[in-house]
Structures are given as structure tokens and as C-alpha cells.
Amino acid sequence: MRHADVYAIASKDVVFESFDGEAVVLDLSSGKYFGFSDSGSKIWQALSSGVDAQALIGLTAGASTIGPAELDRFVSQLVELRLLTRSDAPAQPLPGDLLAELAATSEPLNVSIHDDLADLIIVDPIHEVEEPLGWPAVKQAS
């Protein structure tokens, strides 16, 4: 990781809500949903609000300590999923209650992808109707 690893939400099409401390993110442009574990939700909230990723290393989360490799994997995944992007903005301080909230989590850093109903149409479309969905799922032309 660089000296300061600051990230921002990758686009205006990435929206999220929190449910009892657990985040659900929707990429409006693709229709993909992302569900975060409890510790992943806290890290998502910190990173998406501009906290330096390096400031999260060594904190207690999910009954263990966040290591640099584990955090790097998680952040890289969020960047690959186009949920986060690097930012040149100045790093924001750790929210005061984050340490206690992270310490209270019980699950490892994780994000699950729910894309079975996502848009698959990108270019000149070929449609196939997926019967169980009750609505056409459009398969991308090869």
C-alpha cells in the first residue's frame, strides 16, 4: 500500500444502505448487489467516507486483528468490483465509535456478490427468457 491509501465511492451509481450495522450496496448501472459481513460493513463505511486504509491495520475486528494482507485483499476486491476508487482527497480521521463497533463484530472481512438478477445486456442484445425469473434476462452477445 502507498503511504496514504484513501478511497472514495467509485461512482454516483454506487448506492448503499445499512441494516442493523450491515451494509447492502447496489451498483445501479449493473443491477448487482453486494452484502457485507459485519466487520466488512464497518470497513466499507470507513473507506467510503475517506478514512486512510492504513489507519485500519491492526484494529480488532471479527475476533482477530486486521492484517495488512487481509485488508489489501479486501480493498482490492472492492476496487475490482468498481465499488471504490482511489482518491487524492485528504484522509479523514477515524470516526470515534469505529474502534468499539469493529471490536464488537464477529465475522471476518467479507463481501458477497448477488448478481443473479443483474443486467447482462451490454452490447447488441440477444435475449433469453429465464423462466424462473418471470421476466427476461438478457444475455450478452458473445
Partner 1 sequence: MAGGQAGILTNSRIRDRGVLDLAMSRVTLETLPDYARYLIAAAEGASASYPVTRKIRLPRLELTGHLGPGVLADALGHAFVETRGDQPESSRCRIFIAHPGIHGIPEPARWGDAHFTEHGFAKRLAEAGLRGHHFHDLDFWQFYDPQRRVGVQLMGSADAFPPWEPGAPLRAFLHWEYAARGMRLAHAGTLGANGKGVLLAGAGGAGKSGTVAAGLLNGLDSVGDDYVLIDLANGVTARPLFSTLKQDPQGFARLGLKRRVPANAPLNWQGKHAFHIGDIAPRPVPAMLDIVALMVPHISGGGASSIMPVSRRDAMIALAPSGIAQMPGERESGFRFFSDLTRLLPCYRLSLGTQPQEIAGTIAEFLARGAS
Interface positions with partner 1 (CB under 8 A)? 13, 15, 17, 19-20, 22-24, 26, 28-31, 33, 35-36, 114, 116-119, 121-125, 127, 129, 131-136, 138
Q: Which three cell numbers stand for residue 134?
A: 418471470
CB of 39 to partner 1, least distance (A): 13
> Please, are residues 137 and 129 in contact by the beta-carbon 8 Å criterion?
yes
Torsion angle, alpha carbons of 78, 83, 85, 90, to 10: -100
* Helix/strand/coil for 53: helix
Q: Which is nearer to partner 1, 86 or 114 (CB)?
A: 114
In the complex, least distance from residue 60 CB atom to partner 1, rounded to whole angstroms: 22
Q: Minimum Å distance from CB 21 to partner 1?
A: 9
Closer by beta carbon to partner 1, 29 or else 64: 29
Instruction: In whole angstroms, give the CA distance from residue 69 to residue 85.
Output: 19
Q: Which residues pair with 86 in a beta bridge?
A: 7
